[in-house]
């Protein structure tokens, strides 16, 4: 597993902007990988994202501000996980919960998609009526896979036991999987989204409030993000995805998000930077009203 320099943090921010006591956002590294089934390496995702983020400019030209002024701290202390998958998920929940209790907005860095189960479990204690918005190529609705109910292929099966969700971009699943959904959860397949634009309205009508967003990077087309364990053709791209997420952020209270399943490749950092930039853009969109008020 890749390790960070002790002083590294998201964006390589100076101390006054990365202090855990004063920062509004906590970036939580979760290098958990126990059940990946094709390409390996998601355990190295969090460090690769942090390293790539050091090359991001603080200034966001779209928002005309330096988003990082709200304070973005980084916690990369959780590096050892219990070999029992369910207990590892509980470790992730406990780590997240400690920051939520301090009123931090938590951004999770995976790791395999199983980490999202732990994050959602923690958030549910603070937001009993929460929903999840899943951006993903895979439905992840198997009840069990290769002997584990906490496989990355079971992430949404476990999440819908905690709260309802809407899944988007799915283009790899199992026959009959829609019958496994617990109402009012909903899945919208990629081919449905590509054929007509009304899917955005469908999401807005189906999705409750507040919302945690889980982004498996294989939601994006492999031409945009290729450092993945299980890439799928027919995915989505940068601006269309940002435009959609802005609509969600403007219409719902977003209570946290994660970016998972980056499997960094030595010597090829484009996907790492993509993930880091995506995280910074989303933090900017979510905190734009607060930043505007601070600057007024």
Q: What is the pLDDT of residue 7?
A: 66
Signed CA dihedral, 265, 75, 33, 235: sign only: negative
Q: Rounded distance, CA 47 to CA 209, Å?
A: 32
Q: What is the pLDDT of residue 6?
A: 59
Q: Which residues pair with 170 in a beta bridge?
A: 189
Instruction: Decide if pLDDT at 1 tops 80.
Output: no
pLDDT band at 218 (very low <50, low <70, confident <90, very high): very high
Q: Rounded distance, CA 169 to CA 237, Å?
A: 11
pLDDT band at 289 (very low <50, low <70, confident <90, very high): confident
Please state, for a pLDDT cut of 70, what percent of the chain lies above it.
97
Q: What is the pLDDT of residue 8?
A: 84
The pLDDT tens digits of the residues spanning 62-87 come to 999 999 999 999 999 999 999 999 99
Please state, for a pLDDT cut of 90, what percent of the chain lies above it.
88
| Phi and psi torsions of 156, nearest 5° | -80, -25
Q: Is the peptide bond before 210 cis (omega within 30 degrees of 0)?
A: yes
Domain locations in the chain?
A: 10-295
Q: Which of 99, 109, 124 is nearest to 258 (CA)?
A: 109
Lowest mean per-residue pLDDT among 52-56, 103-107, 194-198, 213-217: 194-198
Instruction: Decide if pLDDT at 296 tops 80.
Output: no
Q: Which of 70, 68, 126 is nearest to 96 (CA)?
A: 126
**Polymer length in residues for the chain:** 296
Beta strands at 254-260 and 211-216: parallel, antiparallel or unpaired:
parallel
Q: Rounded distance, CA 60 to CA 50, Å?
A: 18
- Region 84-110: mean pLDDT is 97
Q: What is the pLDDT of residue 12?
A: 97
**The two structure tokens encoding residue 61:** 């030209």
**Class (C level, CATH) for 10-295:** alpha beta
Q: What is the pLDDT of residue 3?
A: 64
pTM confidence score: 0.96
Q: Which of 91, 84, 95, 108 is nearest to 34 (CA)?
A: 84
């Amino acid at each position: 597993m890749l390790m960070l320099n002790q002083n590294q943090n998201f964006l390589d921010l100076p101390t006054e902007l990365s202090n855990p006591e004063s920062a509004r956002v906590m970036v939580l590294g979760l290098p958990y990988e126990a059940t990946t089934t094709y390409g390996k390496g998601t355990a190295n995702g969090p460090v690769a994202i942090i390293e790539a983020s050091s090359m991001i400019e603080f200034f966001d030209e779209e928002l005309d501000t330096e988003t990082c002024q709200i304070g973005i701290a980084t916690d990369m202390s959780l590096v050892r996980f219990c070999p029992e998958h369910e207990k590892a998920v509980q470790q992730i929940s406990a780590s997240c919960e400690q920051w939520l209790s301090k009123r931090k907005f938590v951004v999770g860095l995976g790791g395999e998609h199983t980490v999202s189960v732990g994050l959602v479990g923690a958030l549910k204690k603070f937001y009993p009526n929460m929903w999840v918005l899943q951006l993903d190529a895979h439905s992840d609705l198997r009840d069990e896979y290769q002997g584990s109910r906490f496989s990355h292929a079971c992430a949404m099966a476990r999440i819908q036991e905690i709260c309802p969700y809407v899944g988007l971009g799915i283009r790899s699943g199992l026959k009959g999987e829609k019958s496994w959904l617990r109402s009012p959860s909903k899945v919208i397949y990629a081919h449905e989204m590509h054929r007509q634009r009304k899917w955005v309205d469908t999401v807005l009508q189906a999705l409750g409030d507040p919302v945690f967003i889980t982004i498996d990077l294989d939601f994006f087309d492999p031409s945009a993000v290729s450092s993945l364990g299980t890439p799928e053709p027919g995915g989505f791209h940068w601006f269309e995805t940002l435009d959609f997420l802005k609509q969600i952020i403007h219409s719902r209270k977003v209570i946290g998000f994660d970016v998972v399943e980056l499997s960094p490749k030595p010597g090829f950092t484009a996907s790492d930077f993509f993930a880091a930039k995506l995280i910074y853009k989303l933090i900017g969109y979510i905190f734009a009203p607060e930043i505007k008020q601070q600057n007024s």
